[in-house]
Amino acid sequence: MIVSLLYNVSRRLLSVPSVLLRGEAAKDAELLVLRHENAVLRRQRAGPVRYEPADRLWFAALAELVDRRRWLEVFPVTPGTLLAWHRRFVARKWDYSAPRRTGRAPTRAAIRSLVLRLARENPRWGHRRIQGELAHLGHRIAHSTVWRILHDAGIDPAPRRGGPTWRQFLTSQAQGIIAADFLHLDTVLGRRLYALVFLEHGTRRLHITGVTAHPTQAWTTQQARNLAAALGHRTQSLRFLLRDRDGKYSQTFDTVFQAEDLHVIKSAPQAPRMNAHCERVIGTIRRELLDHILITGETHARQILKTYENHYNRHRPHQARDQLPPESRQHPPAVHNLNTHRLHRTRILGGLINEYRHAA
């Protein structure tokens, strides 16, 4: 509409001198055509000449004032070109369809981030499996789009991009693993004591079965029986027992767990990192308890280790469990007004460890 209005106004303004003075108007029109053509050529010094919509409008408005016999000498375009411009102008005037962009619309950044997240968290998913998951979430995009996003990010879109890492493998197997290791501690008089520690990988639940100064194979086997009885039906969820090759263990020790359908796995010689979870919890016990207390004997050691075991399982938060204790399944309700809730402190082992709860 704007182009049509400008064209009509230009024609009417230029037609006024043509009525009053036909000859002079024709000469002026020729000069205007030549000057505008010179301006177009100066604007485009290289390559083919391209006329903008404003150029076409100007030439069409001046065409009526130029003598037909001088068109070939003055006008830079032929009458056929001028008529083609007019046909396109009329076609656009009566085209009421909405303007459409050519090509595929760009994929939103949120969708690209979601595709990469699904590929990172599920290394065995291919581009078609990711497309199906996106459709389940309400994002319907073509599988070729998913393929292109993965390819541009340097990720193989094939269904198998590689096996799981050790971290992924152990995480998937954690629910069925329980690990065992010995913890040694020294009394105030320098006597060496030993405690047998078990740790469930899936729940991070800690079991300290006993303390002795003489950890014989018979004593170790009895601790295994005590643990199996304490676990009860929960042994059905366990599949592997992980231990080192210490001589304190015996075939009878392994038989106790094999009777519960657990497969005993021995770590490689001098490779404590193969039992890293149990090694880490022993380090935690040392840093939080044993390095800050003097032990007088077996009974004292058994008492403080049992107290710490209860604290560890029932209250101490764990990063691997979203800051939940091993024996908790959900967080307590959020507290928004601290003024209405009084904080209660419980001293463990004489204040060596503190536990905090909101008073009822």
pLDDT score at 20? 43
pLDDT score at 164? 60
* DSSP for residue 234: G
Which helix (DSSP H) or strand (DSSP E) does residue 15 occupy?
helix 2-20
Measured from the Cβ of residue 106, the count of other Cβ atoms closer than 10 Å reads 7
Instruction: Give the span between the Cα atoms of 87 and 127, in whole angstroms.
Output: 48
Give the type of residue at 172. Answer: S
Per residue of the chain (360 residues), what is the pLDDT tens digit? 555 555 555 555 555 554 444 556 666 666 766 666 666 666 666 666 677 777 767 666 666 666 666 666 666 777 777 777 777 777 777 776 766 666 667 788 888 898 889 888 887 788 888 888 888 888 888 888 888 898 888 887 765 555 566 566 667 777 889 999 999 999 999 999 999 999 999 889 999 999 999 999 999 999 999 999 998 888 888 889 999 999 999 999 999 999 999 999 898 888 888 888 899 999 999 999 999 999 999 999 999 999 999 999 998 888 878 888 888 877 777 766 666 767 788 889 988 888 888 776
Instruction: Give the span between the Cα atoms of 3 and 75, in whole angstroms.
Output: 22
Indicate the burial class of 349 (C-beta count within 10 angstroms; 0-12, 13-18, 19 or more).
middle
Which helix (DSSP H) or strand (DSSP E) does residue 35 occupy?
helix 22-43
pLDDT score at 83? 74
User: Do the Cβ atoms of 279 and 250 come closer than 8 Å?
Assistant: no
pTM for the full predicted model:
0.57
| Three-class SS state of 172 | helix
pLDDT score at 36? 62
pLDDT score at 33? 67
Cα-trace Rg, the chain: 43
* DSSP for residue 220: H
Q: Which two tokens stand for residue 123?
A: 């290394």
Write out the E strands in the chain.
177-186, 192-200, 206-212, 240-243, 263-266, 343-348, 353-358
Instruction: Give the span between the Cα atoms of 297 and 213, in whole angstroms.
Output: 10
Q: What are the residue ranges spanned by the domains of the chain?
A: 2-93, 109-152, 171-321
pLDDT score at 244? 92
Q: Does domain 171-321 have CATH number 3.40.640.10?
A: no
pLDDT score at 285? 95
